[in-house]
Amino acid sequence: MKTLLRITLFLALLAAPLVAGCSDNNQEVNLEMTPSQQNNGVDSEHLSPCPARPNCVSSEAPPGPDHIAPLRFSGAASAAWQALQNILVDMGGQVEKVDDHFLHVTFRSRIFRFVDDLTCRLDRTNNLIQIRSAARVGYSDFGVNRKRVERLRLTFDERVQNSSDNSPTQGLQ
């Protein structure tokens, strides 16, 4: 058991420079929030664009490696918005700020406690929730943010679909 622990720690120490940021310059890693993160990941009425690193996905990104589909819902936008918040908390997220159309949640990695920011924008007109998930530091997140959003999508689709199937107006046509 001790050998396994030692191997795990050794591998973690080898991987730390990759996760903490691989760059040609020797700038210090900034654990503070960037201006767009301080603004909840929102730039006016849109989510902030992803940086030029493979550690972010956004439904408002142009087609390419950063793009991910928005969450879709039917029925009451307020119910979908509340369901989203509940799911994110159930997934281990910490709600930092929420209002009637923007949501900012943070997630921390288990071992190194790196922070990822997940921001959402409710688009009531099109029954969509635009979503962006990004690592705060480092060059690559090894697909963690994309996997988180896809896991969120599965749970959201299941809960929102189940709640709309059980609505009191169902079958009253």
For the segment 111-140, what is each residue's pLDDT rounded down to a tens digit? 888 999 999 999 999 999 999 999 999 898
pTM above 0.85, yes or no: no
Mean pLDDT across the chain? 80
Instruction: Give every CB contact of residue 118 below 8 A, 6+ residues apart in sequence.
Output: 88, 93, 104, 105, 106, 107, 131, 132, 133, 134, 145, 148, 149
Residue 113, pLDDT score: 87
Residue 45, pLDDT score: 83
Nearest to 82 by CA among 98, 70, 69, 96: 98
Domain 44-165 in CATH: superfamily?
Alpha-D-phosphohexomutase, C-terminal domain (3.30.310.50)
